[in-house]
């Protein structure tokens, strides 16, 4: 089956539940999925009812597509995301996001939990992603290109939308905190980085580091969506903090702590898009 046929089939399955057309697609990172629960008039479609959406490989991690309104804006959110390190192919990693854009979303708000590399980044900070460095060695556009979905060679000179970044900036200011800025370094994982790797990422201009986002952003750019990316800094990157080890529990706890501010920020941004 071609990618376009797969997207059509998946869209049909979603439209069997609702024919609402989303304006904004949300990808919610580790510990941040709760935002989808705040959507109003929500229609929840489990991934297993959507042809082509890969099932989460970790047992107990239910995946849902949630369509709902927030601040008067029709949204669609992925609750549960697929990563390369789970053994998913690049195509599978980006299929859900492609589907949300296919369903009509013009804007993509993509978020992640990330380690802070930039000297100005503290745990709990929210960072607007200004650009990315894809170090996964993978690309979701490898293989035949469907010219109706997007061009063979995708321009990446201004990948993250400046206007949307401005809205994030303004919303944070209204909420009484300052957004940080930086370049997101996307790695394969699942092991965390070594201190030597982090020193290398400092040299090449990295601001935050994580195991998601870069492939999804390439696929979204291919389909012409406007992208806002936000990293929630859950820890100082390897070797930069006082802690001698880095654990997934620490990452999740700190993401949970930042959740309130994060939910308010997303609400503020959506209100400006209404
Ligand atoms: N490295 C990679 N991925 C991450 C990190 C990190 O320090 N924190 C949260 N996700």
47/69 Cα distance (integer angstroms): 20
Residues serving a catalytic function are 30, 61, 83, 85-86, 113, 211-212, 235, 248
237 CB less than 6 Å from ligand 1? yes
Q: Could you read off the pLDDT of 153-184 as tens digits, one per residue?
A: 999 999 999 999 999 999 999 999 999 999 99
> What pLDDT does residue 80 have?
83
Q: How far is the CA of 190 from the centre of ligand 1 (A)?
A: 9
CA of 231 from ligand 1 middle (Å) equals 10
- CATH (residue range 3-273): 3.40.50.1580
pTM value is 0.95
List of the chain residues with pLDDT < 50:
60
Q: What is the DSSP string of the chain?
A: --HHHHHHHHHHHHHTT-----SEEEE--TT-GGGGGG-EEEEEEEGGGSTTPPPPSSTT---EEEEEEETTEEEEEEES---GGGT--HHHHHHHHHHHHHTT--EEEEEEEEEE-STT--TT-EEEEEEEEE-SS--TT-S---TTT--SS---TT-S-HHHHHHHHHHHHHHT-PPEEEEEEE---SSPPPHHHHHHHHHTT-SEEESSSHHHHHHHHHTT-EEEEEEEEEEE-TTTSS-S---HHHHHHHHHHHHHHHHHHHHHHHHHH-
For the chain, the domains span 3-273
């Amino acid at each position: 089956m071609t990618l376009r046929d797969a997207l059509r089939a998946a869209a049909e399955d979603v439209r069997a539940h609702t024919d609402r057309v989303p304006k904004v697609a949300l990808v919610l990172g580790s510990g941040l999925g709760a935002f989808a629960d705040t959507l109003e008039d929500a229609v929840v479609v489990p991934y297993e009812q959507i042809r082509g959406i890969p099932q989460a490989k970790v047992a107990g991690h239910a995946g849902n597509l949630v369509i709902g309104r927030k601040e008067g804006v029709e949204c669609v959110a992925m609750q549960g995301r697929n990563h390369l390190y789970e053994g998913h192919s690049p195509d599978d990693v980006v299929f859900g996001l492609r589907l949300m854009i296919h369903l009509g979303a013009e804007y993509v708000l993509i978020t992640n939990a990330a380690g802070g590399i930039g000297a100005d980044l503290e745990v709990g900070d929210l960072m607007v992603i200004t650009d990315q460095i894809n170090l996964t060695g993978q690309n979701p556009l490898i293989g035949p290109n469907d010219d109706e979905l997007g061009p063979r060679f995708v321009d990446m000179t201004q990948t993250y939308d400046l206007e949307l970044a401005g809205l994030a900036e303004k919303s944070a200011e209204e909420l009484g905190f300052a957004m940080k800025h930086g370049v997101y370094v996307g790695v394969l994982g699942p092991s965390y980085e070594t201190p030597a790797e982090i020193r290398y990422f400092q040299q090449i201009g990295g601001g935050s580091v994580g195991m998601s986002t870069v492939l999804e952003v390439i696929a979204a750019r291919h389909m012409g969506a406007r992208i806002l990316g936000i990293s929630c800094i859950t820890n100082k990157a390897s070797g930069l903090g006082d802690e001698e080890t880095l654990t997934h529990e620490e990452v999740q706890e700190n993401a949970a702590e930042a959740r309130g501010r994060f939910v308010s920020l997303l609400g503020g941004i959506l209100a400006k898009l209404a």
